[in-house]
Amino acid sequence: MSQVALNHFLASLPKTETHLHIEGALPWALLEKKDPARFSGVPFFRQPDFRYESFEQFESVLIEHAMCWFDSPESYHEAAKLIFSSHLKQNVKYVETSFHAGMMEFLKLPGEEILNAIIEAIPKGLEVRVFLGISRNARTPYLGPLLDEALEWNDLSGIDLHGLESLPFESWIPDFWSKARSMGKVVKAHAGEFGPASNVRQAVNLLKVNRIQHGTRAFEDEDVMKLLIDQGITLDMCPISNYKLRVIDRLEEHPIKNFMKKGIRCTVSTDDPLSFNNSLTDEFIALYEKLSLSFQEIAELISNGFHVADLEKRQKNEFLMQIDQQTAKLK
């Protein structure tokens, strides 16, 4: 099959994005609009061949640029409108995105106002679920009470453990995740990206999550992979991010294809397109070119996103049927 055929196939399929940081998805066009002299052209970190030297470098670049834009609920609303518009252009029907809890402390912004600003930007034809991204060291005297209040926000879909895996796994985290689950929130955790496979086991066993963000390094431990299979855990993976951040040396070495063969459910997302200059379409093209994924395997990954989506069964089945119909045309 040709690249043209792949592009046509991808465009025909309804899709999901299940791992997206909204600050890290800031459209570059907004920075260009705000300060043309400073942000014109393509910066070094958005060049096709650029790779970050470390997570710290990535985080520094991301914070530097995101903080140039995000300073109010209105700024989140304007960014979200453009982000979601891009999703519609790619035939994305369902998105899970998170905003960083630390912004409530850094900028003294009311978190529920940020949440509402994002939700009000959702266009017709797109379903969006908003999560609160919480770092392992987030329970500061200022932020701790705000985290507790956040679980009362009716429109908050869930929480996600973010940030450096090298930080201590503090004792408050399992209790907080348990409380969130008891209140009907979806719980996720970043694990097995820069940290070892044992971090994936820790997130599954202690936080009782069904969704792991990344989980790339689970391939290092057969027992952890068996745990993922036995408990039906989904890995929300971001291959280009993993390559750009040196989690893997080459895209050809990404474990997603082996995970699929073993029966581990995976989805595909962009993570932080501000930092990686990638789209959801780019992710699938990379998997096709570098890992030789078939059109049917790409369709399976896309279907997985709907299987885990927080949608009514009728909606899920409708999208899954569309994917099956388009895939059947390949035969």
Catalytic status, residue 165:
no
pLDDT tens for residues 106-158? 999 999 999 999 999 999 999 999 999 999 999 999 999 999 999 999 999 99
Quote the pTM value.
0.96
pLDDT tens for residues 12-50? 999 999 999 999 999 999 999 999 999 998 999 999 999
**What share of the chain has pLDDT > 90, as a percent?**
95
Q: How confident is the model at residue 211 (pLDDT cuts 50, 70, 90)?
A: very high
Amino acid at 9: F
pLDDT tens for residues 261-304? 999 999 999 999 999 999 999 999 999 999 999 999 999 999 99
Burial of 230 (0-12, 13-18, 19+ CB in 10 A): exposed
Tell me if 139 sits within 8 A of 167, measured CB to CB: no
Which pLDDT value is given to residue 329? 87
Catalytic member of 78, 112, 193, 283: 193
Residue 313 sits in a domain whose CATH number is 3.20.20.140
Which residue is it, tokens 């792949």? 6
**What share of the chain has pLDDT > 70, as a percent?**
99
Q: Strand 186-191 to strand 211-214: parallel, antiparallel, or no bridges (unpaired)?
A: parallel
pLDDT tens for residues 235-247? 999 999 999 999 9
Which pLDDT value is given to residue 270? 98
Residue 68: name the closest of 98, 43, 95, 97 by CA: 43
Tell me if 24 sits within 8 A of 271, measured CB to CB: yes
How many structural domains does the chain have?
Answer: 1
Which pLDDT value is given to residue 29? 96
Cα–Cα distance, 249 to 51 (Å, whole number): 10
Report the residue count for the chain.
331
Residue 84 has pLDDT above 70, yes or no: yes
Which residue is it, tokens 């119909």? 325
Interval 74-80 mean pLDDT: 98
Domain that holds residue 85: 3-328
* 147-to-153, 158, 190 alpha-carbon distances in Å: 10, 12, 18
In whole angstroms, what separates CA 109 from the centre of its chain?
23
Which residue is it, tokens 């070495």? 253
Cα–Cα distance, 297 to 215 (Å, whole number): 19
Interval 303-318 mean pLDDT: 97
H or E stretch covering 202: helix 197-207
Computed from CA positions of residues 297, 84, 23, 129, in that sequence, does the dihedral angle turn out positive or negative? Answer: negative
Residue 4 has pLDDT above 90, yes or no: no
Which pLDDT value is given to residue 171? 92
Residue 321 has pLDDT above 70, yes or no: yes
Alpha helices in 28-72 (DSSP H): 28-34, 36-39, 55-66
> 135 forms bridges with which residues in the sheet?
162
Looking at every residue in the chain, the average pLDDT score rounds to 96
pLDDT tens for residues 169-207? 999 999 999 999 999 999 999 999 999 999 999 999 999
Backbone angles phi, psi at 4, to 5 degrees: -60, -45
> 160 forms bridges with which residues in the sheet?
133, 188
- Fill in the DSSP letter of residue 204: H
Interval 220-230 mean pLDDT: 98
> 133 forms bridges with which residues in the sheet?
100, 160
Burial 162-201 (b: 16+ CB within 10 A, else e): bbebeeebeeebbebbeebbeeebbbbbbbbbbbbbbbbb
Q: How confident is the model at residue 1 (pLDDT cuts 50, 70, 90)?
A: low
Residue 193 in tokens: 């990206």
